[in-house]
Amino acid sequence: MLNNYEKMGLHASNTTELVLDQVSVPRENLLGVEGSGYKQFLAVLDGGRIGIGAMAVGLAQGAFEKSLRYAKQRKQFGSTLSTFQAIRFKLADMAMNIELARNMVYKAAWLKDQGRGFKKEAAMAKLFASEMCMRVCDQAVQIHGGYGYMREYEVERCLRDAKLLEIGEGTSEIQRMVIAGQVGC
């Protein structure tokens, strides 16, 4: 039985409920060790958090680039938006936070690739990148002004898509619990 869901964002990715009832899996098709499914699931989540962090960086980068392009073209009071200090500061903060998140994602991915522990770094990268992405996308809408609320300018889609990144692979609250546990709290 399949049940498709309509979501606020990420429309290019279908979300479907899959229900398996009274299904038996032959022993030769078993993945991992029987009885260890939950532990395996948690290990997969750690890797997935790196992927969510990478998605957040890419989405934020796109929103930033659209905003920078718009700020260089849009004129107000005889000058482009990019000449106003308030807009320049927004763009500078966006660029800085994207770079920080990118480096956090790279570090977590590198640790995973090296076969080293990466649970804390993956949770930190996912948490920082997803929350940063929401802030960047929100500022992108703000820079675009009323146009930012219109589908034609696409930054509204970025904002809708960004919200899921704070939820998927564990909410921000869960990431904070994982990080607290990893630092010995």
Note the pLDDT tens digit of each residue in 10-25.
Answer: 778 888 888 888 998 8
* Cα 173 to Cα 154: distance, rounded to the nearest angstrom: 29
Higher local confidence (pLDDT), 2 or 1: 2
Q: Is pLDDT above 60 for 1?
A: no
Could you tell me if residue 16 is inside a domain? no
Could you tell me if residue 147 is inside a domain? yes
Could you tell me if residue 83 is inside a domain? yes
User: What is the domain range of residue 78?
Assistant: 43-182
pLDDT at 2: 67
Q: Quote the number of domains for the chain.
A: 1
Could you tell me if residue 150 is inside a domain? yes
Could you tell me if residue 15 is inside a domain? no
Could you tell me if residue 143 is inside a domain? yes
Greatest mean pLDDT range, 26-40, 41-55, 78-92: 78-92
Query: Is the dihedral angle over the CA atoms 37, 42, 44, 45 positive or is it negative?
Result: positive
Q: Is pLDDT above 60 for 135?
A: yes
Could you tell me if residue 36 is inside a domain? no
Q: Catalytic: 169? A: yes
Could you tell me if residue 58 is inside a domain? yes
Active-site residue identified among 28, 131, 169, 173 = 169
Classify strands 79-80 and 2-4 as parallel, antiparallel or unpaired.
Answer: unpaired
35-74: b or e for each residue (b if 16 or more CB lie within 10 Å)? eeeeeeeeeebbeebbebbbbbbebbbbbbebbbebbeeb
Cβ-Cβ contacts under 8 Å for 56 (sequence gap 6 or more)? 101, 126, 129, 130, 132, 133, 162, 165
Q: What is the pLDDT of residues 160-181, one digit of tens each?
A: 999 999 998 999 999 999 999 9
CATH number of the domain that residue 64 is part of? 1.20.140.10
In whole numbers, what is the pLDDT of the chain averaged over residues?
93
